[in-house]
């Protein structure tokens, strides 16, 4: 059977994650916690036999992926199609600001309207199509191998839904933790879930002089 093992990673923490500010395609760097998370993640994956690492070209994802590449020696390839959902005019705003300034858009977003696109942004349907096609394209190049995809919360949400058959409007009951390890199996028929939201490498680590 043709199959590719996938490790899907959400980038490390950024200041805008802490502020609940929408990042989308804006190029926000990792904060100190995010840089630490990337190093811990790299240590956890150092012995994995990776075929390749594909990362969103936004710096928060690319920096996370670069730490993995340095630890494993696997080739790192920028992949713009792994970017976060484009949120158009909502980018740069906090959740609270969107609720106050754009209540109708906030309502449609909160209700997960699959056909709602913020002005200048993407719908959930468009995001799902982009991520499904990109994952298929990348995984098909590495049949029998193990590939890391480093991306964003919205991308990871879509991957989980694709692997479990969840509809776009279904309430999210799974975690999308920064720098967690999420494992999937790809075949030409689609994705299946192997393991999700493994944060043991973060939970057990102590941020002292040896790990900071």
Domain ranges of the chain: 4-203
Whole-structure pTM value: 0.95
Examine the pLDDT at 211 and tell me if it is beyond 50.
Answer: no
Distance CA 184, CA 17 (A): 25
Q: How confident is the model at residue 134 (pLDDT cuts 50, 70, 90)?
A: very high
Q: Which helix (H) or strand (E) holds 154?
A: helix 153-164
- Which residue in 84, 91, 152, 201 is the catalytic one? 84
Active site residue 11: yes
Active site residue 136: no
Q: Please give the pLDDT value at position 65.
A: 98
Per CATH, the homologous superfamily of domain 4-203 is Phosphoglycerate mutase-like (3.40.50.1240)
Of the candidates 104, 101, 82, the residue with the CA atom closest to the CA atom of residue 92: 101
Examine the pLDDT at 210 and tell me if it is beyond 90.
Answer: no
Distance CA 80, CA 57 (A): 5
**What percent of the chain clears pLDDT 70, i.e. is strictly above it?**
96
Q: How confident is the model at residue 205 (pLDDT cuts 50, 70, 90)?
A: low
Per-residue model confidence as pLDDT tens digits over 181-192: 999 999 999 999
Q: What is the mean pLDDT of residues 8-17?
A: 98
Q: Is 158 exposed, middle or buried (0-12, 13-18, 19+ CB in 10 A)?
A: buried
Q: What is the mean pLDDT of residues 149-165?
A: 98
Of the candidates 142, 148, 139, the residue with the CA atom closest to the CA atom of residue 182: 148
Q: What is the mean pLDDT of residues 115-123?
A: 95
Q: How confident is the model at residue 1 (pLDDT cuts 50, 70, 90)?
A: confident
Q: Please give the pLDDT value at position 204.
A: 72
- Residue 51 or residue 207, greater confidence: 51
Q: What is the mean pLDDT of residues 113-135?
A: 97
Per-residue model confidence as pLDDT tens digits over 39-90: 999 999 999 999 999 999 999 999 999 999 999 999 999 999 999 999 999 9
- Average pLDDT over the chain reads 95
Q: How confident is the model at residue 206 (pLDDT cuts 50, 70, 90)?
A: low
Of the candidates 66, 74, 60, 56, the residue with the CA atom closest to the CA atom of residue 146: 74
Distance CA 191, CA 32 (A): 33
Examine the pLDDT at 212 and tell me if it is beyond 70.
Answer: no
């Amino acid at each position: 059977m043709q199959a590719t093992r996938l490790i899907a990673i959400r980038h490390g923490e950024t200041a805008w994650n802490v502020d609940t500010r929408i990042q989308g395609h804006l190029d926000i760097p990792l904060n100190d916690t995010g840089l630490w998370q990337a190093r811990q993640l790299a240590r956890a994956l150092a012995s994995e036999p990776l075929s390749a690492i594909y990362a969103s070209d936004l710096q928060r994802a690319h920096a996370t992926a670069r730490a993995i590449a340095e630890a494993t020696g696997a080739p790192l390839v920028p992949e713009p199609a792994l970017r976060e959902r484009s949120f158009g005019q909502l980018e740069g705003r906090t959740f609270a600001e969107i609720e106050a300034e754009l209540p109708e858009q906030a309502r449609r977003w909160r209700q997960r309207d699959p056909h709602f696109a913020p002005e200048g942004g993407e719908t959930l349907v468009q995001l799902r199509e982009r991520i499904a096609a990109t994952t298929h394209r990348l995984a098909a190049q590495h049949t029998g191998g193990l590939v890391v995809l480093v991306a964003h919360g919205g991308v990871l949400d879509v991957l989980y839904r694709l692997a479990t058959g969840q509809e776009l409007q279904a309430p999210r009951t799974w975690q999308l933790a920064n720098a967690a390890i999420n494992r999937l199996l790809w075949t030409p028929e689609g994705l299946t879930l192997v393991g999700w939201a493994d944060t043991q490498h973060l939970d057990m680590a102590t941020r002292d002089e040896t790990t900071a």
